[in-house]
Amino acid sequence: MNQETVKQRVVNKMGLESSPATILIVGLGVTGVSVARFLKNIGVNFSLIDSRMQPLNFSQIKEIFTDYDIYTGGFPDSKFIGVTHLFVSPGVSLREPCIAQCLARGAKLLSDIDLFAYCTDAPVIAITGSNGKSTVTTMVEVMAQSAGKKVAAGGNLGVPALDLLADEIELYILELSSFQLERMTALKPQVAVVLNVTSDHMDRYSDIEAYAKVKSKIYDHARTCVVNIDDRRVLAMVASEQKQLTFSVAKMADFSVREESHTQWLVYGNKAVIARSKILLVGEHNTSNALAAMALATTVGLPIESIVSGLMHYQGLPHRLQIVSTAHEVIWVNDSKATNPSSCIAALMAFDEKVILIAGGDCKGADLTELAAIIKQHVRVVILFGRDAELIEDALQSTVPIYNSETLEGAVLVAKELAIAGETVLLSPACASFDQFKDYQERGNIFAQTVRRIAA
């Protein structure tokens, strides 16, 4: 699709021909800059704003957008007056007063995903959920590559959606967060899935039902809905008239699990597709992820041989139950991507023996009740660090021995003193990382570096 065709599609869809437009991009993070670069390339004018005085890479951003108005250091009301089209980055809450008032005055809310949808006719797989999004996205990507497809994967994962656009791409796979879903309207995926819904981002939503309602938007225009029937909130999202494929680790479904001759199989209909032991990722949550990936891949026509090959060769992503050392017969596992209680629970359930758990950070207002019960059953010792360590300790009510450290590095040193041969030390924080780190990757890297240093 040439640039002029892209521009014409965007202009038509945004309604820029019918009346003068004032476009404001809020947030100069990865997504905001991606939108700005895209609009600049097709010759559409806009302004940019960020609440930070010095956003990351600000000097480079100013060089790229020298001919555009950029304001930093806050969200003054004056910058939102007269705005007709508003692109709000996922990291910025729509409840910001100036944004809410701008929308109330009639500004049209748009997203990078909307622009992406305007500009491609290739099939799109759309994936969301509280946990497992990145794993399933990259798992399906490996399946598609095994089938010889020209595939591009991104969105909330890695590369922004707009940066994926290319004429040669035959299949797009988008990971979408709740923040992206709440501000998009145009995407019509060939197939979509909500993997699960558990308590997360309660600092941005009034309750879990409001959060689930946003997640359900991914199904609104999907041709086929892949549904996890083990999750009651997901099951309630899809209307009976919508085309569905179901998956379950515990019940009869289109994609399910069954045991034959002491071997657990992943099954499509009545056909055993692959033995669970052939999949490298551990834990029941990854069985569920594999079933979801199979359903998505089948819907877009990937051959069963490529699906099986993808499952057998997929090694997982960093910071997700990643073994970083086995020195001195202690297994150190980096699960820094566990940024909410449910993902920590899934990690703990993957181990047969009790572990030493390192947890802590920003709880984001999450309910810790279920996590506390699971810790009591699956953890020998807890070592807490980070801003909400005290909240977690209060939730645990002294059901297991608890140690505290101001830093993650200190927590690793405490674990080294406590661990015995054959034991597992698991970093699975159950919290966001932003109280002490740039992101969960930095947290996981520091954990791995500290472990390797003390193990040397």
Q: Fold identical between 114-313 and 322-455?
A: no
With beta carbons less than 8 A apart as the criterion, state whether 189 and 218 touch.
yes
Give the architecture (CATH level 2) of 114-313: 3-Layer(aba) Sandwich (3.40)
How far is it, in rounded angstroms, from Cα 113 to Cα 179? 11
At position 396, the amino acid (one-letter code) is: L
315-330, pLDDT tens digit by residue?
Answer: 999 999 999 999 999 9
Task: Yes or no: say if 127 and 139 are a contact pair by the CB < 8 Å rule.
Answer: no
Whether residue 199 is predicted with pLDDT greater than 80 in this model: the reply is no
pTM value surpassing 0.85:
yes
Per-residue pLDDT tens digits for 25-36: 999 999 999 999
Q: How far is CA 232 from CA 134, 196, 229, 299, in A?
A: 22, 9, 7, 23
CA distance 114 to 162: 10
Q: Each residue of 258-316: pLDDT tens digit?
A: 999 899 999 999 999 999 999 999 999 999 999 999 999 999 999 999 999 999 999 99
pLDDT (tens digit per residue) in 42-52: 999 999 999 99
Q: Which residue has the higher pLDDT, 199 or 185?
A: 185
Rounded to an integer, the average pLDDT of 167-181 is 97
Choose among 317, 91, 320, 337: nearest CA to 201: 91
List % helix, strand, coil for the chain (3-state, nearest 5).
40, 20, 40
- β-strand partners of 358: 383, 427
Q: Is the distance from CB of 23 to CB of 44 less than 8 angstroms?
A: yes
Which residue among the candidates 133, 215, 319, 337 is catalytic per the annotation? 133
What would be the CATH architecture of the domain defined by 322-455?
Answer: Alpha-Beta Complex (3.90)
Q: Tokens at residue 421, please? A: 């041969």
Which of 79, 131, 156, 228 is an active site residue? 156
Superfamily of domain 3-110 in CATH is NAD(P)-binding Rossmann-like Domain (3.40.50.720)
Q: Is 156 a catalytic residue?
A: yes
- Give the per-residue pLDDT at 19: 78
Average pLDDT score over residue span 361-376: 95
Domain residue spans in the chain? 3-110, 114-313, 322-455
Looking at 79, 201, 285, 378, which residue is catalytic? Answer: 201
The encoded tokens of residue 345 equal 């629970």
